[in-house]
Structure 1
Amino acid sequence: MTLHPQTTEDSRSAPRWESYVAIGDSFSEGLWDISPVDPEKCRGWADLLAMTLSTRRQAAGESPLRYANLAIRGKQLGPIIAEQLDAAIDMKPDLISIIGGGNDILRPHVDIDSIAAQLDHAVARARAAGIDVLMGTGTDFGGQGSLALTRSRVALYNAHIWSIAQRRGAYVKDMWGTRSVADPRLWADDRIHLTTQGHQLVADIALVGLGLRPENPRYAQPLDPSPVASLADRTRGNIDWAKVHVGPWIKRRLTGTSSGDNRTAKYPTLEEVR
């Protein structure tokens, strides 16, 4: 199957997708980019992508994009596929983003080949239904920070994602290859979710992955250097992070609970984005 061309669209033309459904975990739900319209909801890169696609469509005289977001925080890839994929396919959208596996990779024991096979099957099902698919690679933090020990797992999973994309004719949002997104200032206090600025950057990475022009042409350029924190400040920050974020995460693992328990999708049906 031929890969979709990764070229920039004519600025006068409308994105060809009329409908888009995002499925996944907290990353696609949008933690921690709070919606300026509804403080009870997160916004995030997928919502920003939908807004941009819709704005460009309307500017070209086409109908607004219809959008749904079924992503729920805390979900591993298996439950994402089991609980969200059928509902997404049943909506018959033109585009689905399937972003998951990060919560699997954070577990002490994970079979990367197994979750990649699950992702491949999910992409194949969507493509067989005539739906375009957007996947995403994980970020490369260069073996530094709180996620340093997961680097080899993320790299292996990313290799699978690129192979799946080539085999199935899917698009890839390449965060690993966009070094600017690894800046710690783009990540929230929990160190595994993005800030508002981070989500804006990832929305541009998604646009480029879809063969479209980014909103910010300088999206891939690094931020200006910041002052280096002292050892004492870094130590205090690590202690606070462990207390506020790591401890509760470990407790949830030990008790078999999830941050997504009893939560429902924030946008469960296709609605016009205006």
Structure 2
Amino acid sequence: MVNPHPWNRLVALGDSFTEGVGDPEPESPGGLRGWADRVAEELSVDHPDFAYANLAVRGRLLQQIIEEQVEPALALNPDLVTISGGGNDLVFRASDPDRLAEKFDEAVDRLSATGATVVLFTGPDWGATPVFGLIRGKIAIFNEHLRAIAVRHDSIIVDLWALRQLRDHSMWDPDRLHFSPLGHHTIAAMVLDTLNVPHSLEPLEPKPLPKSSWRGARTEDLVWAREYLAPWILRRLRHRTYEDRAAKRPEPGPVFGSAMPEHTSSSGGS
């Protein structure tokens, strides 16, 4: 297959979701893989000049993504851009989804004005998750704004809210904030399907639900709150964020460099 898609350069913007937190891979830059890397791997097949940069940094709020990543992304001259943000604002800052949408709209306007294809993401449905289910309404409102923004700017939207597979616990990291390798794999397949790009990612059967699942065990909810939620909130209150972190792939380059595993047509699994 020659030139299976029209894009030559992908730049990904965002926070931990796009950085790939929850999908560890020692041989990948930054020690993480994630859905964006998995998408880039597939886009590079039969496309030897394809280049990929990932500017996402965990913990970033939407305004930080806009201030720190949009201009550098534009300077890289991508023809395909993914941008995701606002989750940290909604979850940890109780932000107004209407105001967030105004900021997001401006960012998408700047990115789409270059002629690049811009890909957006709705937030997943956290309705069954303790604590985060309380902000389900705000996420739904923000998602509606994102759908409208996509229409205004002729962008593509990947609808994670509609992805029912993400309701399975095996799609999530134990911290319940990030996706597992299986979750990142599933999202990567949805991105490629939305872009109408042929790929080798096959649907994976969810792992068996443990006898004591995080959905039903109150004791595990308490452990999770103590080990994950409380430390995160304390870091925020003490202003101990990830300000000193840098993007894992700041410059566009081949998806598989000298330190990367050799690519085959069956790669992309978890």
Q: Same fold (TM over 0.5)?
A: yes
CA–CA distance in structure 2, aligned partners of residues 88 and 118 of structure 1 = 17
- Aligned pairs for 1:195-274 (under 5 A) are 195-213=180-198, 215-216=200-201, 218=203, 223=206, 226=209, 228-229=211-212, 234-258=217-241, 260-274=242-256
Given that 1:173 and 1:208 are in contact with CA atoms closer than 8 Å, whether structure 2 keeps it comes out as no
Instruction: State the identity as a percent.
Output: 36
> What is the CA-CA distance between 1:186 and the residue it aligns to?
1.0
> What is the CA-CA distance between 1:262 and the residue it aligns to?
0.7
CA–CA distance in structure 2, aligned partners of residues 211 and 28 of structure 1 = 20
Given that 2:29 and 2:249 are in contact with CA atoms closer than 8 Å, whether structure 1 keeps it comes out as no
Change (3 A) 1:144 1:216: same
Given that 1:143 and 1:149 are in contact with CA atoms closer than 8 Å, whether structure 2 keeps it comes out as no
Given that 2:30 and 2:248 are in contact with CA atoms closer than 8 Å, whether structure 1 keeps it comes out as no
Runs (5+) with no aligned partner, structure 1? 1-10
**Equivalent residue for 1:31?**
21
CA–CA distance in structure 1, aligned partners of residues 249 and 210 of structure 2 = 40
Change (3 A) 1:157 1:213: farther
Letter in 1 for 2:6: R
CA–CA distance in structure 1, aligned partners of residues 121 and 15 of structure 2 = 12
Change (3 A) 1:228 1:152: farther
**Equivalent residue for 1:133?**
118
- Aligned pairs for 1:1-274 (under 5 A) are 13-38=3-28, 41-55=31-45, 58=46, 62-213=47-198, 215-216=200-201, 218=203, 223=206, 226=209, 228-229=211-212, 234-258=217-241, 260-274=242-256
Deviation digits for residues 222-242 of structure 1 (CA, Å, limit 9, x no counterpart): 8476355379x8133112211
> What is the CA-CA distance between 1:257 and the residue it aligns to?
2.3
Letter in 2 for 1:136: F
CA–CA distance in structure 1, aligned partners of residues 213 and 158 of structure 2 = 35
CA–CA distance in structure 2, aligned partners of residues 132 and 89 of structure 1 = 12
CA–CA distance in structure 2, aligned partners of residues 173 and 143 of structure 1 = 21
Given that 1:24 and 1:80 are in contact with CA atoms closer than 8 Å, whether structure 2 keeps it comes out as yes
Q: Which runs of 4+ in 1 moved over 2 A?
A: 141-146, 211-219, 222-231
Letter in 2 for 1:237: E
TM-score normalised over the length of structure 1: 0.86
CA–CA distance in structure 2, aligned partners of residues 38 and 165 of structure 1 = 31
CA–CA distance in structure 1, aligned partners of residues 228 and 128 of structure 2 = 20
Secondary structure in 2 matching 1:176: helix
CA–CA distance in structure 2, aligned partners of residues 227 and 190 of structure 1 = 16
Given that 1:140 and 1:176 are in contact with CA atoms closer than 8 Å, whether structure 2 keeps it comes out as yes
